[in-house]
Amino acid sequence: MKLFRLFIPILFTVICSCNSIKSNNLNGFKLIFDGKTLTGWDGDLKYWRVENGILTGEITPETILKQNSFLIYKNDSPGNFELKVDYRISAKGNSGVNYRSDRVDSIPFALKGYQADLDGKDKYNLGYPRHTGQNYEERGRQFLATRGQVTVIETGKAPSVIDSTGTKAALLNAINFDGWNQLHIVAKGKNMKHYINGVLMSDVTDNDTINRKMSGFIGVQVHVGPPMKVEYKNFLLKTFN
């Protein structure tokens, strides 16, 4: 009887947690992927599907890409926001989450803008992900801050490294090479921070008034290269004024 009494509060907590996610309201966050369909998203269904509640992007030997392709969230183009999403990527995988991005009209399902880079442990035959957590501008200025860097960008100049977010070993230790991780993006004004599993990986302050973007689309990427698979779940967005 005592065991049963102890079990009830635990069960109640689990049920409440599940219901709060289903209600699309969790501490100000809302679910932007329903776990069942691609409603609200736009992309090439040759590469994207929903499988067992997971948003899945996959390139097979029969569907090799000639250019990067995105699944684009079309219901909002936020400026100041927090985004949390769990991801898992294959060993040779190369992906990323774009934000504050523009669609490229001349190329189907292409984006131009900031990207939280994600890659697999064997993409570059290193035994660990080389770029995960960095800030890379797709079809733009490219490397804005590699993993471990705090940078400031002035108009017409290359990024200036002003500090570090941690040692290479410490940052790699925060990443699960073979399983699920949580990516957390915080974009407020001209500052953008990328976290993996709660650890700050890169920090960019973009003072480049010509090239920076203050709002735009969110999208997830499958990258040119060998066959790969990337999975996303618990896609949560919170926007600010």
- pLDDT > 60? residue 176: yes
By DSSP bridging, strand 142-145 and strand 149-154 are unpaired
Average pLDDT estimate for 67-73: 97
Pick the CATH number of 32-240 from 2.60.120.560, 3.40.50.720, 3.40.50.2300, 3.30.460.80: 2.60.120.560
- pLDDT > 80? residue 7: no
Lowest mean pLDDT among 12-21, 79-88, 108-117, 128-137: 12-21
- Return the pLDDT at 49: 97
Nearest CA to 220 out of 120, 149, 138, 107 is that of 138
Residue ranges of domains in the chain: 1-28, 32-240
- pLDDT > 70? residue 104: yes
- pLDDT > 90? residue 6: no
Q: Check if the beta carbon of residue 131 is closer than 8 Å to that of residue 93.
A: no
Per-residue pLDDT tens over the stretch 188-217: 999 999 999 999 999 999 999 999 999 999
Per-residue pLDDT tens over the stretch 16-47: 334 335 544 588 999 999 999 999 999 999 99
Average pLDDT estimate for 139-147: 97
Pairwise CA distance, residues 15 & 120, whole Å: 34
Nearest CA to 197 out of 177, 173, 181 is that of 181
Nearest CA to 201 out of 238, 159, 233, 164 is that of 164
Token pair listed for 45: 């269904």
Mean pLDDT of the chain: 91
- 3-state secondary structure string across 216-233: CEEEEEECCCCCEEEEEE
Query: What percentage of the chain reaches a pLDDT higher than 90?
Result: 88
pTM over 0.75: yes
- Return the pLDDT at 25: 53
Per-residue pLDDT tens over the stretch 111-132: 999 999 999 999 999 999 999 9
